[in-house]
Amino acid sequence: MTTAGEKEKNQRVPIYTARTGSVDLVEKVIRTDNEWRLLLSPEEFRVARKKGTEAPFTGAYHDCKEHGIYQCACCGTDLFSSDSKFDSGTGWPSFWDPIAEGNISTSTDYELGYPRTEVLCRRCDAHLGHVFDDGPPPTNKRYCMNSAALRLARPTE
């Protein structure tokens, strides 16, 4: 007999990988809070697993100009390219487009008493930040992310 938790652990999701340029079905990453605590720093856990927010202008990537792929700090899924990064002036790393729509999911969040669109990693459900409709063309979107939920994979030379 298979339990609901086992079914969820065996769930597969299509994820795009920038390095190969392909979409593969990969296992959803499901861990307990204790397992995540062993893998993440306290700040990464607070932000990515408990839907926290880092203070503006304090994250490692808010003014980063390096090229590469921003990946999920929890599971390594490719999320954003530095090519879509822009300075929004908000103090958080901002992007006008994800690397692949299928690598993220969204949810409505009422934490501040009004609706906002939360952005999550599709593979592990990590809280990444929020998306707003005040970004630059061509998408007019501002994916306002937390540095603590991201890791920058720099291209190999």
The enclosing domain of 75 has a CATH number of 2.170.150.20
- Asked if residue 17 belongs to a domain, the reply is no
For the chain, the first-to-last Cα distance in angstroms comes to 50
* Confidence at residue 8, expressed as pLDDT on a 0 to 100 scale: 58
- Asked if residue 73 belongs to a domain, the reply is yes
Q: What is the mean pLDDT of residues 129-153?
A: 97
Phi-psi region of 38 (alpha: psi -120 to 50; beta: other; left: phi over 0): alpha
* Confidence at residue 112, expressed as pLDDT on a 0 to 100 scale: 83
- Asked if residue 103 belongs to a domain, the reply is yes
Count of domains observed in the chain: 1
pLDDT tens digits, one per residue of 117-127? 999 999 999 99
Please name the amino acid found at residue 3. T
- Asked if residue 101 belongs to a domain, the reply is yes
User: What whole-number distance in Å separates Cα of residue 45 and Cα of residue 33?
Assistant: 9
Contacts of 44 (CB under 8 A, 6+ apart): 73, 74, 148, 149
* Confidence at residue 6, expressed as pLDDT on a 0 to 100 scale: 52
- Asked if residue 15 belongs to a domain, the reply is no
Domain range for 87 is: 31-153
- Asked if residue 8 belongs to a domain, the reply is no
144 is catalytic: yes
pLDDT tens digits, one per residue of 20-75? 999 999 999 999 999 999 999 999 999 999 999 999 999 999 999 999 999 999 99
Catalytic residue among 74, 75, 124, 144: 144
pLDDT at position 157 over 50: no
Of 75, 3, 23, 22, the C-alpha closest to 44 is: 75
- Asked if residue 22 belongs to a domain, the reply is no
- Asked if residue 63 belongs to a domain, the reply is yes
